[in-house]
Structure 1
Amino acid sequence: MQQEFPVKTLCRDCVTLTTGEETPPRRCPSCGGPRLVHHTELESLSFAHLDCDAFYASVEKRDRPELRDKPVIVGGGQRGVVSAACYVARLYGVRSAMPMFKALSLCPDAEVLRPDMAKYREVSRAIRDRMSALTPQIEPLSLDEAFLDLSGTSRLHRASPAECLARLAADIERDLAVSVSIGLSTCKLLAKIASDLDKPRGFAVIGASEAADFLADKPVSILWGVGSALQKKLLSDGIRLVRDLRPYEESELMARYGAMGRRLHLFARGQDPRPIEADAPAKSLSSETTFEQDIQDLDSLQHHLWPLCEKLARRLRDKDVAGKTVTLKLRTGDFRLQTRSRQLFAPTQSAETLYEMGHTLLRENWKPGGYRLIGIGAADLVRGELADPPDFLDPQRTRRIAVEKAIDGLNRKLGTDAVRKGRSFTP
């Protein structure tokens, strides 16, 4: 009996799309390749998530072939954390964001490389150029991942989004020697989940007809926005799996979890109305530093906070944005993370304003004990023209802002640290 919705088969080697029989083939009928994707909705899905596989480590291995079969960790020194780990290192249990000392205890023979962000940005731009040839609807999440909306592109490319994505992955691997994994689905939530199902060099599909069943027995942590704090709160309410959310009305979830309750109601059913926002502005910017040794005293932390505020203020001005919320980030010697935020009276690009608020948050939240990291961030970004309006209660504010911008201009000409404020120097 013929299926109402026949299975489509996509060969990722020769990029051939065929309509399969009741039992999909194990090898491509055209080239004999084994890398096949089978799905009844393969031609109709258009939301994709592209994720580079162990991006930083892959770029380093590309440029240093002698490391191809060795465990490679990209990150800081003994005091830092893992920025990326190749798949060989992951076999030993090494993961991103893991403390470096722990990673090296798991994999003592790993080759540790310092991050080369300029090189990674260059490769990222090359990947972005190839994505842009398929669709202008691209929402980058970081250097190594992005959402793509290929709705309505089939006629232009004379190929389905699935075929275009398979060809894109092959082109990136051939031209840039970096592999990617692709998730294809009906929305951002499911596309992001799908891209993690078949790593590395993966291509996974979650269709509309299976989404609810697929999610039902997954832990709620698989849903976007469910971090450790919300997960604990859900667990305390008896909600461990996605299916545990479904008996609740949207109003009940909103009453308990605020605006996130509405999303939980939709996500639990495999629905995600968020559009792909092409060239969406950054939601926040930050700057942080990890110390070679834990810092105990408040005065030293305050001293390290100031240059981070200067760096963040320069980034805000360079991107012509201003932040309305300041966030202080602290990591203790035992790796506990603390973040504290407070909204400003007006958006700012000023290092002085960032420091005043960051300094206040630091004084309020500092406790005896060692700290290994401090950071400062600006969120709720708005256009730069709205930054630092005159304050009649602080007539010197305008002058301080002008001085900062003048120092910026001099440092661009003479070097980043050519002109510095006295606060930058160690007493």
Structure 2
Amino acid sequence: MPGLCRDCGARDPPGATCPACGGRRLVRHAALFTLSIAHVDCDAFYASIEKRDRPELLTRPVIVGGGRRGVVSAACYLARTRGVRSAVPMFKALAACPDAVVIKPDMAKYVAVARQMREMMEALTPLVQPLSIDEAVLDLSGTEALHRAPPAVVLARFAGAVERRLGITVSIGLAPNRLLAKLAAERDKPRGFAVMGAEARDWLAQQPVTLLPGVGPALARKLGAAGFTRLGQLAGLEVREAARRFGEDGPGLVARARGEDTRRVDPARETKSISAETTFETDLRTLAELEVPLWRLCEKLGRRLSEKGLAAAGVVLKLKTANFESRTRTVRLGRPTKLPEMLFRAAQPMLAKEATGTAFRLIGVGSQPLAPGDTADLPDLADPDAARRADRWAAVEKVRARFGEGALVSGRGLGAKRKG
């Protein structure tokens, strides 16, 4: 059976040890050198970067998050063995792993590493579709002549280069389609390299329905109530029966249960939303208190929109109560914008309706749907101040870029600083 040494890239090593380098991290699969769709997932991305930069933490459980009032952004694998997971409230994470080292997220650092990773992936193929800051899918079809090696060998070299240059590790799934590549990448973490081919359907049949991306607790309960707990049970449904039982999403669900996926790798896939949020150290109740972080988040959101060349055609307000109840409110805008002042004007009335004494632990603001950046804040005879607002914000950002974030602070942003 075709094989590959993941350490040195040697092909078809005999036995359990690579004769070229002595490595034992071998991967074998009948379709190893013919598959070309890869899912690349960084291992505990934020935590791995922090351990890279602070070697004294290598043997310590590390949690990246926003203080006792926040939630876990990432946890190293040692912390995960204690039950710590992303999005778990920090107080629960620390109860499960009291000796963990907690580090506040440094998004600028993580984004810089993600950009380096993206450049390395784009050197392999132009067909790279980022899925998140630490995850992407690649199509290496037709690249064998360029690299003088099949995709499996190229990916093994890539994983090694990431470790040497960036000081972090990745897990790779190689398969005939995007769904199976993602599932493969999750099978062998960390530092994984797993392959799925024709055997995938038999393997999937034995797996719980929750294995499929998109099948959350609510859908799993619905499926379970109908008698479907394993993917094999779903895979046996006829298309018409799937639609009758589960509506228009039924046939697609059944196809995924069989391991089928026709999605292409699309580098031009549009970002669906951009947002910013913060968790408070102590609960906030009044409108006046909540407006301060809302304004800061609107400034952050406006900056992110500008960086991506996008604008907000709608604004989303997110709140989380002290009891972890989530509230989401949305409004469509008459004209696209990326100005914090206009984002705040849209979000503030929604906030005013919610700030009636309820204790809130988190606030967020987002833009959805998005619009092209060149459609934002255009001159309008009905709004003669529009151009001045845009010029004013551009001037503020220019000063901040030169002298730092605190060089200019709006009156709305003044108040007791709360970290999250």
TM-score (norm 1): 0.87
Name the residue aligned to 2:324.
335
Aligned with residue 159 of structure 2, among 155, 160, 169: 169
Corresponding letter in the other structure for 1:370: A
> How do 1:9-24 residues align onto structure 2 when only pairs under 5 Å count?
9-18=3-12
| Distance across 2 between alignment mates of 1:391 and 1:256 | 50
Render the CA deviation track for 1:231-255: whole Å, top value 9, x for unaligned: 4444444443323433444456557
Render the CA deviation track for 1:19-47: whole Å, top value 9, x for unaligned: 97xxxx43335555321212111111111
Name the residue aligned to 2:215.
226
| Distance across 2 between alignment mates of 1:345 and 1:184 | 45
Query: 1:230, CA displacement in angstroms?
Result: 3.6
Structure of greater relative contact order (alpha carbons < 8 Å, 6+ residues apart):
2
Aligned with residue 309 of structure 1, among 290, 295, 298: 298
Name the residue aligned to 1:46.
36
| Distance across 2 between alignment mates of 1:187 and 1:328 | 36
Name the residue aligned to 1:347.
336
Q: Any conservation in 2 of the 1:140–1:279 contact (CA below 8 Å)?
A: no
Corresponding letter in the other structure for 1:12: R
Structure 1: segments with no counterpart, 5+ residues: 1-6
Q: SS of 1:18's equivalent?
A: coil
Give me the identity figure in percent: 51
Name the residue aligned to 1:59.
49
Name the residue aligned to 1:94.
84
Structure 1 residue 111 corresponds to structure 2 residue 101: yes
Query: 1:375, CA displacement in angstroms?
Result: 0.3
Query: 1:202, CA displacement in angstroms?
Result: 0.9
Name the residue aligned to 2:66.
76
Corresponding letter in the other structure for 2:260: Q
Q: Any conservation in 1 of the 2:209–2:231 contact (CA below 8 Å)?
A: yes
Render the CA deviation track for 1:331-372: whole Å, top value 9, x for unaligned: 222333333334333332132332233223334455653211
Query: 1:256, CA displacement in angstroms?
Result: 6.5
Q: SS of 2:368's equivalent?
A: strand
| Distance across 1 between alignment mates of 2:405 and 2:22 | 57
Aligned with residue 202 of structure 2, among 202, 205, 213: 213
Structure 2: segments with no counterpart, 5+ residues: none
Query: 1:81, CA displacement in angstroms?
Result: 1.8
**Cα RMSD after superposing both structures:** 2.8
Query: 1:116, CA displacement in angstroms?
Result: 2.6
Q: Structure 2 vs 1, CA of residues 127 and 319 (structure 1 numbering), >3 Å: closer, same or farther?
A: closer
Judge which range, 257-266 or 355-364, deviates more.
257-266
Judge which range, 65-74 or 359-368, deviates more.
359-368
Render the CA deviation track for 1:259-316: whole Å, top value 9, x for unaligned: 6445323312211122112254432211111111011234422332122112211221
Q: Structure 2 vs 1, CA of residues 127 and 399 (structure 1 numbering), >3 Å: closer, same or farther?
A: closer
Corresponding letter in the other structure for 2:188: D
Name the residue aligned to 1:194.
184
Name the residue aligned to 1:4.
none
Name the residue aligned to 1:182.
172
Q: Structure 2 vs 1, CA of residues 206 and 281 (structure 1 numbering), >3 Å: closer, same or farther?
A: same
- The alignment of Structure 1 onto Structure 2 pairs a total of residues equal to 416
Q: Any conservation in 2 of the 1:322–1:383 contact (CA below 8 Å)?
A: yes
TM-score (norm 2): 0.88
Render the CA deviation track for 1:49-69: whole Å, top value 9, x for unaligned: 111111222222222222221
Render the CA deviation track for 1:350-402: whole Å, top value 9, x for unaligned: 32332233223334455653211100011232211122456666555555445
| Distance across 1 between alignment mates of 2:257 and 2:292 | 46
